[in-house]
Structure 1
Amino acid sequence: MKLYTERRKLIENKEKAVAVRSTTGTEVQVGQTVKKYMIGLFLQMEEAYKRIKKSTTLELSVEAETDTQDFIADMSPTEMLKNYKVSIAQDLTMIKGEEDFEYVWEHFFNDVPDNKEVNVKCMVAFMFDGDKTAGYKAWETDAKLMFESLNGNDSKINFTINFGGSIRKGLAKNADSQITFEEQGA
């Protein structure tokens, strides 16, 4: 009975903590499923970040690059992480006048025939972790846009955003309708 009572107190304290957290501006409550619209993909277009809105996929691919070491003290080789190769495949719906389509289309039209690399600044905002006032946890990186296809039947431009170099951790903030990135510890 004592164990049950202690457990019940822990649950009650957790419920109280959740109630307190739910009133501090966080839009996503504990126990709520993270939805696709709670993860924002942004590209820097000219001087401002703009959200990719008209894509139907949002899967952050994290491919582990490893090295195998066969240490003399171990019976079997050990696999060790070297780094992660992060990318996001996109199938952007071509809607004339939408900022995301117009930006990607211009690069597709102008850069593909010349085999020109498309360097972009990319930000992923995890809008389920944080709030509108303080900001949301986010990653920012220099990336490359790699085109795969333009499909007229499906009205899609398919491309991959390959993260390059370092991923900077910080906060995505919205100030005067301008999305900004504030690096952690900067």
Structure 2
Amino acid sequence: MNPSCNKGWLYFARKCLSPHYNSRPTNEVSALIIHNISLPAGCYGLPHIDGLFLGCLDVDSDPSFADIAGLEVSAHFLIRRDGELVQYVSCDDRAWHAGVSSLNGREGCNDFSIGIELEGTDTDPYTNEQYQVLVQLTLELFNEYPMLNQSKIVGHCDIAPGRKTDPGESFDWQRYLGMLSG
């Protein structure tokens, strides 16, 4: 079997190297966190997500970007509406996606998680292509990181309740977990 990953980089993802990461305090990867993002909100297929994660967002291109000017954030992966998979940070490193967060009483979820962004909103249905790529990505990550399994997958809303709502009501958890099972 050919390896699908080298030093935390998946071969089948488009690479866009974010400067917004650092080393994990341990080698542990024990959670997957599902997010959503669109810039501007509800607009798809634009270059602004890359700009945000790469630290070069043109904040003058939309008035809503004033709120995120200078923000240093990243995720490990983005799955676009058409199913394109983009990787910004090695899974072996800590991306800055979770913010103030806690999972099972453990603070600082960035330390031990992989962040997957879906291009979307809480209310727009995700595409078939996104679910297919998300399942493929998840299974690859299960193979690479033995502490990961279905019980270790959560939404951003689960680790930052009251502060975050993504991936939102439009994310079909039953469909996703069912596709993983089978």
Q: TM-score range by the shorter chain?
A: under 0.3
Q: TM-score, normalised by structure 1?
A: 0.25
Q: TM-score, normalised by structure 2?
A: 0.25
Q: Quick check: which one's strand share is greater?
A: 1
User: Which has more radius of gyration?
Assistant: 1
Q: Quick check: which one's helix share is greater?
A: 2
